[in-house]
Amino acid sequence: MLDEHILKEMKLSFQLTEQRELASGRRKPEKPQHPPAVPKKKVISKVASNPAKISETMIQKAQMESPKKSKKNKTAGAKRPLSNNVSNPDSSPSQKRLKKDNTLPKKNPVNKSSNVAAKKSAATSKSAKLPIPKVHSINELAPKKTKVKTPNKTKEASLSKKHKVNGNKSSMKVVQNGKVVEIIGTAAETSDIEMNSLDDWSEEDDYLIESDSENDVVEEIDETFLKDPKIFKVKCKGPEYKLSDILPPFEHDEYQPLLLDGDGSGTVRKIKVFKSAQEETDSDEDDIDYEPEDSDDFGSEEFDSEESDSEDTSSADYDSDGDFYSEYSDMEDVSDSDSEEFGSDIFDTDDLDSTYEPPDIEGFFDHPPVGMQREPLIIEEIFDDPPVEKKQERIEQSSVMDIVVKNLSSVPPKKESEVAIETEENDEVSLPEVVTPEKENYLQPSDVPFYRNPQANPTELSVFENSLKSNHVLAVIKEDLEVYGTLVLTLLCGQISVNGYRARRQEAITIYSPKGLNWVSISPTKTKKPVKDEVNWEELNKNFTRAQLDRIKTSFQRQTNAIVLLHRNTSAQQLVDTFGKHMAQNVFPLVNSSNRPFGQSETLLHCLIQSSDQSRTLQVPQVWNKLQMHATSRIIVAGGKGVGKSSLLRYLINRNLGQFPSMLLIDLDIGQPEIFVPQTISCTVIDEPLLGPGFLYNRQPEHAIVVGHTNIVLCAEQYARAVIQLVQNIQNDAKYSNIPWLINTMGYNKGFGIELMALLVDRIRPTDLVQIASPIPINNFDSVLDRNSLSQIKPIIYSAEEFKINEIPKYTLHKLISAVPAREKGTWSLSAKDMRYSNLLARLSSCLTGNAKSLTDCQPLGVSLESLKILHPTSKNYSREELIRGMEANVVYLCHHGAGLPQCLGIGVVRAIDYERKELYLVPAMPLQKMSLVDCLILGGEQSLPQGFLRDQGQGVSSSVPFVFILDDSKSSKSIQQIYHRAPAFLGVPANQRN
């Protein structure tokens, strides 16, 4: 009875599948693919085992039906494969596998003789049956292999070596069995299995090929239904074959359970058919389509990546939902900048892809052991004390742990406590290495605003006095303070250090401390020598009362405190307003609260100030202070993404400005430049400290060249030529020869990153190279950037004569460990996309001169189009007319086209174009004095006018508004989103910390 019922259901499901195939029209074009003769032969060779499997499968279905009826949920069905997989590590199943493999050769001779007879009676119908179980068996094998891999991470290195030796798909089988054998510890069995596994894999390859043609299988199934009576005939013959193949009693008993296990998995697959025929069809299609794709992309890494993707997907489900919800909330709250916020989040992953190419399998497997070998070397070179080594390792572990936390939007309470413990350990460990004393950090309650610091000790508060007449603030700084906003500080007495810069007396320094980065800290430093009282108290008395000054004097301790005068940064008003208008996040603060310790002072300064617990400010490892700088130093700072290159760069500048009044910053980062605009490289003479992001100072470079894109792959040659010319310009100018150079590089460390680095080193000829290593392997170069390694690089991309490397010079290599602290959960930080956007906002705010509040209020400069050269930096497919129309209401680079590549002087916004008069009207975002040099406009890359500037026109606008529409919120009008999924293993997360 049960058998008949199952058969009926099978018929119905296959009929439904057939109907859908006919409806889709795929059956017709694939018919010609059926005739190939080779698959038939191999299919026929499997006839002998078919009857047994069919009968066993039928029995299994009957057994499985009862639990299905009792538990009508998918969970029960899903658990069964897991239970089978769990049993794999046991010794008995592995032994059974061995014997199964051993019996294969014996069957073949007997089967051959019986095949001849079978062909005559029912060749076609028998061949139709065979592919079904094999297809399932292939799917069954995959999860087993992946599961076995997981607990044996330490053996991956040795196993990967075997993989290299074999060099084909069958090696995975070897690896799979090798693990099993190693568990048993028998060498002889290994060789036997290898011999057999080669045969097995070649057979399975054939089935993989066959499974690609789905209709072929369907067609054969169809024939089976038409010749239903013959199934029983085959069934009758089954026992006869078994009798002729009787094995020893022990082996025979073990053989049956193996079949049961294999068929059991298959049964689970087939049961799914009866739950929903449509679902089954979709599922099959997905599986069949997915595997070839993986094999094409990853080769023999197929199963590993499949598992990883699955895990990543399961965790990503929750994450992406949360992200989407938060994005949606943001869109509702600040709809003026919807697209920018949304685009910012989406294209953040694009930044990862633009700098990190998927590594070769060889490199991927080699990296962990090489990294492990390097770590002791690095520690030995930098630190001599063993305790420091241990602490350093802890830092790395905690960093990795935090990375895991990043991937989870929701963490169970236990894990949160673990994270807290790790964070505390991190703080303790870093104590001896941080220059400024560090306090213990506690996780803050979620209801406290992100910038508040409720743990401040009242007895150590600094003293702030607010002027009655002016908007100045006089302060005695007794502790480390951190700043959120922008202000101008003048040191009057004592000593302070601001992000490494020792302020001079009576020197006004400007601080920019935006949200999303480390706060800028103001730290009083001890002075050994008694300092004379040089404060001009009479001058201060004009703005402050005598009582206020007396309070300042009494609280000031000469050797430990500092007296500073603070002003609001009024020159940055346009910049702050621009950020407030076009940035979703409050990058600069809205000073509303009056319940803070320095509330009145904060109101005057329009900047938040609080005592610092060192958790959100720049943490300087001791090794940074050991980097020496000379007048002829040429220091390259290199490293992957997010290792702290910019922080180190600013610190070196700030710390050495006392010794060298000016130094040259050569910025070769096209994605997140420090001073100038994205998609360019530049050099700038720095004679003032960078207390915050450099681009907020809106400084003008000495030389700059437009490269054309933020993705190095799309402008590799343009970038190299630009660098070569820029370096030549610098080297030919005598005024740069006797000042130190600091070279900022991009974080492109995979792909041809090391090849590019070799080219840079050859042309720049540095004296020092600082390589910062990240705890995440993907964010590191594949090798140490020493002279020997770079000399052996054989160029692939830069193979032209103009990029030939003459000789890698001698330089001192400094290998540092990344000092970037773990980011707090839920804390917003400036992504690469946000950084570029902020850079553009800062530049465009310089357009607003006089009383202008928006671009439309600015008076434009006119020019005849015929007097301009108009270029696209990376493409020659655009006509001049297209470029002209493309720059309408857009951002363009303003350049001078002299000898060599065009020199970029700044950017501007094309206000409008008069096509009849052939005139262009521009609002420049650079000093007007240099406009006389501009004779060339460059348009291209990712740079375009932020949408907020088009949506929020000036108050006085009364005309029609082009380029802006109110449309239905549908997906059809969305732009291309490049979202990349990366498995945790790819990002360097240890196996035991994956989800």
| Region 579-598 residues binding another protein, contact defined as CB under 8 A | 580-581, 591, 594
Q: How many CB atoms lie within 10 A of CB 515?
A: 20
Q: Which stretch binds another protein (CB under 8 A): 370-378, 734-742, 768-776, 861-869?
A: 861-869
Whether the Cβ atoms of residue 725 and residue 900 lie closer than 8 Å to each other: yes
Which DSSP symbol is given to 620?
-
The answer to whether the Cα torsion of 166, 170, 175, 181 is positive or negative is negative
Q: At what angle do helices 131-149 and 302-333 cross, to 10 degrees?
A: 80
Distance separating alpha carbons of residues 244 and 303, to the nearest angstrom:
38
Q: Min. distance of Cβ 543 from another protein in angstroms?
A: 8
**By CB under 8 A, is residue 469 in contact with another protein?**
yes
**Residue 222 or 935: which CB sits closer to another protein?**
935
Instruction: Kindly tell me which residue out of 878, 900, 982, 994 binds another protein, with binding defined by CB under 8 A.
Output: 878
How far apart are alpha carbons 131 and 418 in whole angstroms?
51
Q: Using CB under 8 A, which of the segments 264-272, 461-469, 779-787, 811-819 binds another protein? A: 461-469
Q: Which residues of 633-786 form beta strands (DSSP E)? A: 634-639, 663-667, 680-686, 703-706, 741-744, 768-773
CB of 69 to another protein, least distance (A): 30
Binds another protein (CB under 8 A): choice among 238, 299, 369, 886: 886
Residue 931 makes contact with another protein by CB under 8 A:
yes
Restricting to residues 934-963, name those near another protein by CB under 8 A.
934-935, 939-945, 947, 949-951, 953-963
Is 932 a binding residue for another protein by CB under 8 A? The answer is: yes
Which residues sit in the known binding site? 639-646
Q: Which is nearer to another protein, 715 or 855 (CB)?
A: 855
Q: Which is nearer to another protein, 960 or 992 (CB)?
A: 960
Cβ atoms 696, 677 nearer than 8 A:
no
Told to check if 855 binds another protein by CB under 8 A, we report yes
As a whole number of angstroms, the distance between CA 355 and CA 670 comes to 11
CB of 347 to another protein, least distance (A): 7
- Residue 78: closest CA among 145, 5, 143: 143
Cβ neighbors of 993 (< 8 A, separation 6 or more) are: 400, 401, 404, 984
Among 676, 772, 911, 984, binds another protein (CB under 8 A): 911
Cβ proximity to another protein: between 772 and 945 the closer is 945
| Binding segment toward another protein, per CB under 8 A, in 265-273, 390-398, 427-435, 467-475 | 467-475
Nearest to 490 by CA among 469, 500, 504, 476: 504
- Using the contact rule CB under 8 A, the part of the chain among 144-152, 286-294, 526-534, 754-762 near another protein is 286-294
| Rounded least distance, CB 630 to another protein, Å | 33
Work out how close the CB of 965 gets to another protein at its nearest, in angstroms, rounded to a whole number: 5
What is the number of residues in the chain?
Answer: 995
Q: Cβ closer to another protein: 123 or 316?
A: 316
In whole angstroms, what is the distance from residue 249 CA to residue 744 CA? Answer: 74
Cβ atoms 588, 576 nearer than 8 A? yes
Tell me which of 228, 253, 279, 289 binds another protein, using CB under 8 A: 289
Q: Contacts with another protein in 196-215 (CB under 8 A)?
A: none
Query: What does the alpha-carbon distance between residue 390 and residue 34 come to, in Å, rounded to a whole number?
Result: 65
- Interface with another protein in residues 315-354 (CB under 8 A): 316-317, 319-320, 323-324, 334-336, 338-339, 343, 347
Which of 99, 912, 982, 991 is the binder for another protein (CB under 8 A)?
912
Cα end-to-end distance, the chain, whole Å = 45
- For residue 608, how many other CB atoms are within 10 A of its CB? 25
Q: How far is the CB of 586 from another protein (least distance, A)?
A: 10
Within 431-543, where are the H helices? 537-540
Binding mask 479-498 for another protein (x = CB under 8 A): --------------------
List, in sequence order, every residue forming a beta bridge with 493; answer none if it has no partner.
563
**x/- map, 813-852, another protein, by CB under 8 A:** -------------------------------------xx-
Report d(CA 845, CA 925) in Å as an integer. 8
Q: Based on CB atoms, which residue is closest to another protein, 877 or 992?
A: 877
Treating both helix axes as pointing N-terminal to C-terminal, what angle do 249-275 and 74-86 enclose, rounded to 10 degrees? 150
81: nearest Cα among 216, 237, 268 = 268
Residues 891 to 910 in contact with another protein, rule: CB under 8 A: 909
Joined together, the tokens standing for residue 179 give: 């693990």
**C-beta of 204: minimal distance to another protein in Å?**
19
Q: How far is CA 303 from CA 204, 300, 559, 577, in A?
A: 15, 8, 65, 53
Q: Which is nearer to another protein, 289 or 357 (CB)?
A: 289
Residue from 609, 883, 905, 983 touching another protein (CB under 8 A): that is: 883
The one-letter amino acid code at 680 reads T
Residue 625 in tokens: 């202070």
Per CB under 8 A, the list member of 90, 279, 285, 416 interacting with another protein is: 285
Residues 520-549 that bind another protein (CB under 8 A): 541, 545-547
Least distance CB 542 / another protein (angstroms): 8
Cα–Cα distances in angstroms (integers) from residue 732 to residues 533, 702, 737, 759, in the given order: 47, 13, 9, 19
Binding span for another protein by CB under 8 A among 186-194, 428-436, 465-473, 621-629: 465-473
Q: Please return the burial class of 60, using the count of CB atoms within 10 Å of its CB with bins 0-12, 13-18 and 19+.
A: buried
CA pair distance 616, 722, nearest whole angstrom? 37
- 570 near another protein, judged by CB under 8 A: yes
Our CB check for another protein shows the closer of 788 and 877 to be: 877
| Among the listed residues 253, 362, 385, 914, the single contact to another protein using CB under 8 A | 914
Please report how close the Cβ of residue 210 comes to another protein at its closest, in angstroms: 14
Under rule CB under 8 A, which residues in 223-262 are in contact with another protein? none
508 near another protein, judged by CB under 8 A = no
Helix H or strand E encompassing 124: helix 91-129
Q: Minimum Å distance from CB 862 to another protein? A: 4
Structure tokens at 11: 């018929």
Q: Distance between CA 71 and CA 91 in Å, rounded?
A: 31
Helix, strand or coil, per DSSP, at residue 91: helix
Annotated binding-site residues for ATP read 639-646
Whether 55 and 260 have beta carbons less than 8 Å apart is answered as no
Q: Nearest to residue 472, comparing CAs of 604, 634, 669, 615? A: 604
Lookup: tokens for 306: 């499949």
State which residue, 121 or 541, has the beta carbon closest to another protein: 541
Stretch that binds another protein, among 11-19, 495-503, 511-519, 862-870 (CB under 8 A): 862-870
Residues 46-105 that bind another protein (CB under 8 A): none
Residue given tokens 């060339």 in the structure block: 936
Nearer to another protein, 146 or 548 (CB): 548
What x/- string results for residues 11 through 50 when contact with another protein is judged by CB under 8 A?
A: -------------xxx--x---------------------
**Shortest distance (Å) from residue 447 CB to another protein:** 18
Q: Among 471, 527, 622, 993, which residue interacts with another protein (rule: CB under 8 A)?
A: 471
Q: How many residues bind another protein (CB under 8 A)?
A: 124
